[in-house]
Structure 1
Amino acid sequence: MQNSFVRTAVVLGLLSAVGPFAIDMYLPALPAIAEGLETTVAATQLTLTMYFVAFGLAQMFYGPLADQVGRKRPLIVGLSIFTVASVGCAVATTVEALTAFRFLQGLGGAAVMVIPRAIIRDMYTGPNATKLMALIMLVSSVSPMLAPLAGSGLIALGHWRGIFWVLAVAAVASMALTTIAQPETLAVERRTPVRVAAMRKGMSTLFRDPIFMGLTFVGSFGISSFFVFIASASFVYAESFGLSPTQFSIAFAVNAVGFIGASQMAGPLGQRYGMLPVMRRAVIGFAVLSAALFVLTLAGFGSLYVIVGMLLLANACLGLVIPTAMVIALDGHGEHAGLASSLGGTIQLVVGGAMIALTGPFFDGTALPMVACIALCGVLSLAMALWVFPKMAELDQPTGNPA
């Protein structure tokens, strides 16, 4: 049982890392891409935005498909699309072509985000599911820690186009891994045909479930803070603090350490103290720390070390929130795990895109707009938590509390 648990964590973690790698390896290259394609910063940022948009929208397709035909075949389809798009990005000669292929890349990458969540729900619930979700985050955490460094290394050795060739190879390797090492977890008798009426009914059920929607938005506003950081940090750290691509990669990795370490404690803490109490305290911590960072930056104390240190602590709280919110949100919807996972993922990406768009008009190369939007995400996440937690108590919703 333990060997199977660890093997599943490793396989799903490696698969889940493909999509984030397409973001994180790419971040140090944004200034070089803008220069190489002779385009603006805004146009270059749009290539990232379009990836997020496609990544979010496609999740609504893969979830129902995975409920109908099983988990493995949609994974192969998504990885195939991702491979073709990565090659297209590598040979793109205009920013418009790069943007189009990045959109296609997002369409393929969405499969390795939404389907592993459904696989987890097929196999486990409660604290065990949280443990597996956290282990997957540990495996895939090499993305924010190593992918930017790998990207800056490829830039130093050759050209930013090498990043996309590496992503194409990684996608091919992931297809082989899925074929060989990942068993099908959805039995034929449990598969649900894709019917418009059934999807509409399932969507209606999910939208009318205040606990599912509330927890989804708790996680969405939380993860949106990281999306805002991703979209802004490379330019902020370069323009405000003069960091090189390699130095930015190190700073970015440090900001991820808190999230990674704390996420590994989500399962054990949930078992000992209950998942809901742990998430409640973590949401409060995230909101307080992100708001404090905004106040410090506004007061003129937003040095590089202050920003990196405060984000490290805030992201540690976030590492307890995200996997727990995901698991509890899906717990009551096992019969529609794929659809629920898709909807949750889509909402996350849409909210994240909206928060990035909110920051855009105020972006001036300084850290203040970035940390202001991160603080707003923290406050909104806390507001949603304060709204949904009482409803969970009223409905006696299972929260993984220890017996």
Structure 2
Amino acid sequence: MRAQHRLPIVILGFLQTLSTLTIDVYLPAFPQIAAEFHATPSAVQLTFTAAMAGMVTGQLLVGPWSDGAGRRLPLVIVTLVHVGASLACAVAPSIEALAGARFAQGFASASIGVVALAVVRDLFAGPRMVRMLASMALISGMAIALGPLLGSQLLHLMDWRGVFLTLAAYGLVLGTITFLLIGETLPAHQRHRGGLTERLRGFGKPATDRPFVGLILVTGFAWGGMYAYLSSSSFVFQTLYGMTTTQYGLVFASHALLMLLGTQLGGRLTHRLRLPVIVVIATAGLLLSTVAILANALRGEPQLLTFLAPLWCFTFFLGLNTPCVQSLALSRHGSAAGSAAGMLNATRQGLGALTSPVSGLLGLAGLLPLAVIMTVAQALGFVTLWTVVRPLRLGRDEPPR
């Protein structure tokens, strides 16, 4: 990695921890939030869904904005918006107000992620882009591993409101660092001119590119299953399996570390295998993992280890899949990286917003609703890969510019 590129990658990696912590750090507090507001589990899960909806909106707006305004200014602004939204979460007087603040928090956190992807696309392409995304994931992935564990430890020192105050303070530090140290990666002569409406037309070309659309659906279905698990995991492990918040954080960390391992392996495999081949392997692994989860759930509530083992496989293959799909998709549309990254992440978060409350609405009396949702999502991703993306043909066609 060139020296002048090392600093942006490191800073972006830490900035992406904000997006990750927005999802993860308050998961252990779900039962506490439900108790304070006298809310049902499905109502608390809707605060998760609100963040997902905010993420979709933020990416669709901020991605094109960064194509016209450059990367640095939007990155600083949305980081500060995240700080304000975290403070609003901390003082929310009702479950409805918390959901509204979570929408704003999700808007900002996903905007950070989409601009970060666009910066990487500005600087790198192809297998090198996969390796840079893996380097960023090495930093942000630690937040996935430590988020719920950090949240559970914070809950020993403060209530759930204090968790959001801590997140606001962390965001303020990162926003200051971004303002002082991050550079611009999109030169003025490469920016899209015109107003936001004009820049939104940048969605047009990616939206008509069949492999690109298929790839964003593949990663969307993969993460739709993951978000369904995330929104249910606190209740599953703490209610069904009787874990403490600390035990739950440790279990969650084990999944996150396996995801991180898959991400790093994906970066290394680019030296040996073509990206479409890696995506095929990873997508098949995701489907087989969820089929195993479903098979166990159909036999009744499985033993903890029997439930965890296929979940470990699922998170590993998700880590292997994600940067490779991102690289394949973004490499096809470098001239509109912000818009393409926005579509990529918005699809992922949108499907997450649809799947995350379903298991709660179906009831959490067992693991079967969650297992069904995860399996259906991965089956759809696998079918989309072969019928829409057609991965074995990707190497034969020149990607559009």
Match of 2:203 in 1: 203
**1:295 equivalent in alignment to 2:295:** yes
Contact 1:5 1:132 in 2 (8 A): no
**1:140 equivalent in alignment to 2:140:** yes
Change (3 A) 1:87 1:267: same
**1:323 equivalent in alignment to 2:323:** yes
Match of 1:168 in 2: 168
For 1:172-191, list aligned pairs within 5 A: 172-191=172-191
TM-score (norm 2): 0.95
Deviations 1:107-166 (A, max 9, x none): 222221100000000000001100011111110012221111111111111211111111
Contact 1:236 1:365 in 2 (8 A): no
Give the counterpart letter for 1:190 in structure 2.
Answer: Q
Partners in 1 of 2:196 and 2:244 — Cα distance? 51
More displaced 10-residue stretch of structure 1: 269-278 or 197-206: 197-206
Match of 2:245 in 1: 245
Change (3 A) 1:394 1:253: closer
Deviation at 1:294, TM superposition (A): 0.8
More displaced 10-residue stretch of structure 1: 95-104 or 328-337: 95-104
Contact 1:71 1:115 in 2 (8 A): yes
For 1:2-401, list aligned pairs within 5 A: 2-195=2-195, 198-199=198-199, 201-300=201-300, 302-390=302-390, 393=393, 396-397=396-397
Deviation at 1:90, TM superposition (A): 1.0
Greater than 6 Å deviation, 4+ residue runs: none
Deviations 1:64-96 (A, max 9, x none): 110111101111111111111111111122212
Contact 1:64 1:194 in 2 (8 A): no
Partners in 1 of 2:86 and 2:362 — Cα distance? 31
Partners in 2 of 1:228 and 1:194 — Cα distance? 39
Q: Matched residue of 2:378: which SS?
A: helix
Change (3 A) 1:339 1:242: same
Q: Matched residue of 1:264: which SS?
A: helix
Partners in 2 of 1:239 and 1:171 — Cα distance? 31
Deviation at 1:40, TM superposition (A): 2.4
Partners in 2 of 1:308 and 1:7 — Cα distance? 37
Partners in 1 of 2:394 and 2:158 — Cα distance? 59
Contact 2:238 2:244 in 1 (8 A): yes
Deviation at 1:196, TM superposition (A): 5.9
Task: State the identity as a percent.
Answer: 29
Change (3 A) 1:7 1:397: farther
Contact 2:59 2:110 in 1 (8 A): yes
Partners in 2 of 1:204 and 1:95 — Cα distance? 38
Change (3 A) 1:274 1:290: same
Deviation at 1:313, TM superposition (A): 1.1
Q: Matched residue of 2:356: which SS?
A: helix
Partners in 1 of 2:11 and 2:194 — Cα distance? 27
Partners in 1 of 2:107 and 2:92 — Cα distance? 18
Change (3 A) 1:148 1:398: farther
Contact 2:211 2:390 in 1 (8 A): no
Contact 1:362 1:369 in 2 (8 A): yes
Change (3 A) 1:151 1:395: closer
Partners in 1 of 2:65 and 2:313 — Cα distance? 38
Partners in 2 of 1:96 and 1:355 — Cα distance? 20
Give the counterpart letter for 1:41 in structure 2.
Answer: P
Contact 1:65 1:194 in 2 (8 A): no
More displaced 10-residue stretch of structure 1: 31-40 or 188-197: 188-197
Deviation at 1:192, TM superposition (A): 0.6
Give the counterpart letter for 2:40 in structure 1.
Answer: T
Deviations 1:267-296 (A, max 9, x none): 220221111111111111111121122112
Contact 2:301 2:367 in 1 (8 A): no
Q: Matched residue of 2:184: which SS?
A: coil
Partners in 1 of 2:161 and 2:362 — Cα distance? 30
Partners in 2 of 1:326 and 1:63 — Cα distance? 15
Contact 2:122 2:186 in 1 (8 A): yes
Deviations 1:32-52 (A, max 9, x none): 111122322222111111011
Q: Matched residue of 1:384: which SS?
A: helix
Give the counterpart letter for 1:105 in structure 2.
Answer: Q
Deviation at 1:9, TM superposition (A): 2.7
Partners in 1 of 2:59 and 2:140 — Cα distance? 19
Residue ranges of structure 2 left out of the alignment (5+ in a row) = none
Q: Matched residue of 2:364: which SS?
A: coil
Contact 1:33 1:44 in 2 (8 A): yes
Contact 2:67 2:199 in 1 (8 A): no
Give the counterpart letter for 1:273 in structure 2.
Answer: L
Deviation at 1:5, TM superposition (A): 4.4
Number of matched pairs? 399
Partners in 1 of 2:14 and 2:97 — Cα distance? 28
